[in-house]
A and B are shown apart, each in its own frame.
Chain A
Amino acid sequence: MSTGHQRLKGPGFVTPALIWTFAFFVVPFLVMGTMSLATLEGRTLVWGLSLANYAELTEKAYLWRAIMVSLEITLTVTVVSVILAYPLAWIIAYRIPPRWQRLALLLAILPFWTSYVVRSYAWLLVLAREGVVNQTLISMGLISEPITLANTRFATVTGFVHFFVMLLTLTIYANLVQLSPNYRRAAMDLGASAFQTFRHVVLPLTLPGIVTGAFLTFVLCIGDYVTPQILGGNTELTVPQVIMVQLGRRADFPLASALAIVLMAIVTLVYILSARWLRLDRL
């Protein structure tokens, strides 16, 4: 009696969230998929099962270029962020006394909690022609003329790396503190140098944390519109920027949808490639 009662109630609790996810996530996604197979004739939308939008991606140079630019920027950002974040997470986990670690970590990732828009604007301040970096370098006598830093790929990458170093420090730190110090002690006792201990013991054990953080970085970076739009200038466009151009000026929803599907396909591919080491449930 009581178990039958409970079986009736379980679905009742889950239903509202399921309906929400279905109506406002699954259905829009399916509509978007269908939209990517439609075409635009003049300004009217023609539904159908056409692969014309996907064919356009390889035919039109600027679309293909955008995919390449997105991949280049995202891979650069992911690699640089991991390389910069690992030592930071290491220092917080192993050099800072345990009672101060939580505070150090909180401080190290505090600017993480800012809007993309505000954070990118702040970097514009730093990198602008009359900005902090140029003025400092000039007053130090290192350069005589301001150098162009804003509105370049360098600026986009810097803005992204700033954000993802904080994210990765968090995921890698979480991995490092879970590691028993005995592993390192054992390796050292057996005569391994500090570098050997790192290379053969700590690094393999923290690989899941690195891959999970790197995957998150990849997903968030390749889908972001704000950072390249504010910091990158308009010399080269990323996929999200091209999507927004299609939506705005041309109202070409089919092509925008196809580009969104391509973004998702890339992310899925990366997910499959890294699935072996991914621990999304342990975040």
Chain B
Amino acid sequence: MTRLLPWLYLAAAFLFIYLPVAALVLFSFQDGGLPVPPFEGPSLRWYADILSDDDVMAALTNSLMVAVASAAVACVLGFLAAYGLARHVLPGSALIRGLLIAPLTVSYLIVGLGLLIVIQRTGLGLSLFTAGIGHVVINLPLCFAIIYASMGAQQQNAERAARDLGADEFRVITLVTLPMLAPALAAAFFLSVTLSWDEFIISFLLTRFDVTLPVEIWSMLRSGLSPRLNAIGSLVFLISVTAVLVLEIFVFRKRRP
């Protein structure tokens, strides 16, 4: 009995963890109008429904654009800062590191609220662009931390060798540093894409007419449970999971000896 106990616990835990996901995905194939038991189907009508819905598709495209663009900006800024701090002696570098990491400890709602107040004061309009700015704020600390942590002595030696052989700073970065950091950069990028893709509150506060997918889902939620929402939710989940699996397979697998 005591031998079985861990496996029973594991089974119960996985049941708890996957119960909502299973309900979400299963009833996205519901043939009827309500995503509750009994299950009728399977039917793809709700997927056909959302794929032909212009608002949903526009929100999906917006979400992808904001996620990729904000992740790219966060990675570039994060990489430059990590390179500057890891390779050069700077006054107050501990303080700079603290400042760059600080947004991690503040909840998204507060980051969004602060930006909303400033944007309203300055008279700039709310748009996907302002939501993207917010997403860079929350992803920059992660990108910086991930890239900074993987800038080891091994890379530094290779960079020094390149410099001794006459490479200028630009060549050192593009031909030595960046290729050696590729796994960390990919990790930072995909993590940022996933977080931005899933993020709701900042997008909700900082967009107006064009919205991201979580915001679109939010406004559809007002009309209650619907297999349409299940279909969109399953799609969102599938895309997040794909990003995580790409990260796992192509980045972390390679790092293992």
Task: Find chain B residues with CB under 8 A from A91 CB.
Answer: 6, 9-10
State which of B31-39, B41-49, B50-58, B180-188 sits at the interface with chain A: B31-39
Task: Find chain A residues with CB under 8 A from B106 CB.
Answer: 25, 29, 264, 267
**Per-residue interface assignment for chain B, residues 2 to 14, with 1 indicating a CB less than 8 Å from any chain A CB and 0 otherwise:** 0000110110011
Task: Find chain B residues with CB under 8 A from A107 CB.
Answer: 14
**Per-residue interface assignment for chain A, residues 27 to 56, with 1 indicating a CB less than 8 Å from any chain B CB and 0 otherwise:** 111011001000000000000000000000
Task: Find chain B residues with CB under 8 A from A118 CB.
Answer: 24, 198, 214, 217, 233, 236-237
Please determine whether A14 and B20 come into contact, CB atoms closer than 8 angstroms: no
Output the nearest chain A residue to B3 by Cβ-Cβ distance: A95
Task: Find chain B residues with CB under 8 A from A223 CB.
Answer: 107-110
Please determine whether A113 and B244 come into contact, CB atoms closer than 8 angstroms: yes
Q: How far is the CA of A22 from the CA of B23 in the complex (A)?
A: 43
Scan residues 82-127 of chain A and give those whose CB is less than 8 A from a CB of chain B.
Answer: 84, 87-88, 91-92, 95, 106-108, 110-111, 113-119, 121-126
- B89 contacts the other chain (Cβ, under 8 Å)? yes
- B230 contacts the other chain (Cβ, under 8 Å)? yes
- B194 contacts the other chain (Cβ, under 8 Å)? yes
- B77 contacts the other chain (Cβ, under 8 Å)? yes
Output the nearest chain A residue to B136 by Cβ-Cβ distance: A20
Task: Find chain A residues with CB under 8 A from B77 CB.
Answer: 16-17, 20
CB contact between B110 and one of A9, A20, A32 (< 8 Å): that residue: A32
Output the nearest chain A residue to B85 by Cβ-Cβ distance: A14
For the complex, count residues of B whose C-beta is within 8 A of A. Answer: 80
Task: Find chain A residues with CB under 8 A from B80 CB.
Answer: 13-14, 16-17
Task: Find chain A residues with CB under 8 A from B217 CB.
Answer: 115, 117-118, 121
- A195 contacts the other chain (Cβ, under 8 Å)? no
Closest chain A CB from B205 CB (angstroms):
8
CB contact between A88 and one of B10, B87, B89 (< 8 Å): that residue: B10
Task: Find chain B residues with CB under 8 A from A240 CB.
Answer: 107, 109
Closest chain B CB from A84 CB (angstroms):
7
Q: How far is the CA of A42 from the CA of B205 in the complex (A)?
A: 23
Please determine whether A224 and B107 come into contact, CB atoms closer than 8 angstroms: yes
Task: Find chain B residues with CB under 8 A from A122 CB.
Answer: 20-21, 23-24, 233
Output the nearest chain B residue to A87 by Cβ-Cβ distance: B9
State which of A61-69, A130-138, A172-180, A200-208 sits at the interface with chain B: A130-138
Output the nearest chain A residue to B19 by Cβ-Cβ distance: A126
Task: Find chain B residues with CB under 8 A from A257 CB.
Answer: 113, 117
Output the nearest chain B residue to A246 by Cβ-Cβ distance: B113
Task: Find chain B residues with CB under 8 A from A95 CB.
Answer: 6-7, 10
Task: Find chain B residues with CB under 8 A from A32 CB.
Answer: 110, 113-114, 117
Closest chain B CB from A35 CB (angstroms):
6
Closest chain A CB from B47 CB (angstroms):
16
Please determine whether B81 and A132 come into contact, CB atoms closer than 8 angstroms: no
Q: How far is the CA of A222 from the CA of B109 in the complex (A)?
A: 10
Task: Find chain B residues with CB under 8 A from A117 CB.
Answer: 200, 214, 217-218, 221
- A141 contacts the other chain (Cβ, under 8 Å)? no
- A250 contacts the other chain (Cβ, under 8 Å)? no
Task: Find chain B residues with CB under 8 A from A260 CB.
Answer: 109-110, 113-114
Please determine whether B88 and A222 come into contact, CB atoms closer than 8 angstroms: no
CB contact between B17 and one of A18, A29, A111 (< 8 Å): that residue: A111
Q: How far is the CA of A117 from the CA of B198 in the complex (A)?
A: 8
Output the nearest chain B residue to A88 by Cβ-Cβ distance: B13
Closest chain B CB from A140 CB (angstroms):
13
CB contact between A29 and one of B114, B133, B201 (< 8 Å): that residue: B114
- A6 contacts the other chain (Cβ, under 8 Å)? yes
Scan residues 192-246 of chain B and give those whose CB is less than 8 A from a CB of chain A.
Answer: 194, 197-201, 205, 214, 217-218, 221, 225, 229-230, 233, 236-237, 240-241, 243-244
Closest chain A CB from B145 CB (angstroms):
8
Q: How far is the CA of A110 from the CA of B18 in the complex (A)?
A: 9
- 16 contacts across the A-B interface (CB closer than 8 A): A10-B88, A17-B100, A20-B137, A20-B140, A24-B136, A32-B117, A91-B9, A108-B17, A110-B241, A111-B21, A115-B236, A118-B217, A126-B20, A130-B34, A136-B37, A271-B105
Known A20-B136, A88-B9, A240-B109; further 19 A-B contacts with Cβ < 8 A: A11-B88, A12-B84, A13-B80, A13-B81, A18-B96, A20-B140, A21-B140, A29-B114, A91-B6, A113-B237, A113-B243, A114-B237, A122-B20, A125-B230, A126-B19, A130-B37, A131-B36, A135-B36, A247-B205
